[in-house]
Amino acid sequence: MDQLSQLGIELPSMAYIIGAVLFGLVGMVAWRHGRRTTRPAVTWTGLSLMLYPYAVTETWMLWTVGAALSVWLYLKWNE
C-alpha cells in the first residue's frame, strides 16, 4: 500500500465501490428493460448509470449523480 501511495495511486473507498456496483446493476436492469420494451429514455438512462462511475472520482458525486439518475429512471419506468 505504501508503494502505491508513493506512486500517487489511491484505491477507492468501500462506499465508492458499493455505489459503483449498485448503480451499475440498476443500470444493467434498466438497459435490458429499455431495449426489450423499445423505450429510449430508459435504455439511455440505464447506459448512463452503468458508465458514469468511470468518469466520477469523488464518492459524494457518485452517490449524488446515481441517486438523481435513479429518480429519473423511476419516473420514466412506467411512463
The model's pLDDT over 38-64, given as tens digits with 9 standing for 90+, comes to 999 999 999 999 999 999 989 999 999
72 assigned to some structural domain: yes
> Is 64 a domain residue?
yes
Q: Give the total number of structural domains in the chain.
A: 1
Residue-wise over 29-64: b if at least 16 C-beta within 10 A, else e? ebbeebeeeebeebbebbbbbbebbeebeebeebbe
Q: Are 23 and 46 in contact (CB under 8 A)?
A: no
Q: Which domain holds residue 47?
A: 12-77
Whether residue 25 lies inside any domain: the answer is: yes
Q: How many helices (H) and strands (E) does the chain have?
A: 4, 0
In single-letter form, the type of residue at position 19 comes to: G
Average pLDDT, the chain: 93
The answer to whether position 4 is within a domain reads: no
Q: What percent of the chain is predicted at pLDDT more than 70? A: 99
Q: Domain for residue 3, yes or no?
A: no
Domain presence at residue 6: no
Note whether residue 50 is domain-resident: yes
DSSP string, 9-43: --PPPHHHHHHHHHHHHHHHHHHHHHHHTT-HHHH
Q: Is residue 5 part of a domain?
A: no
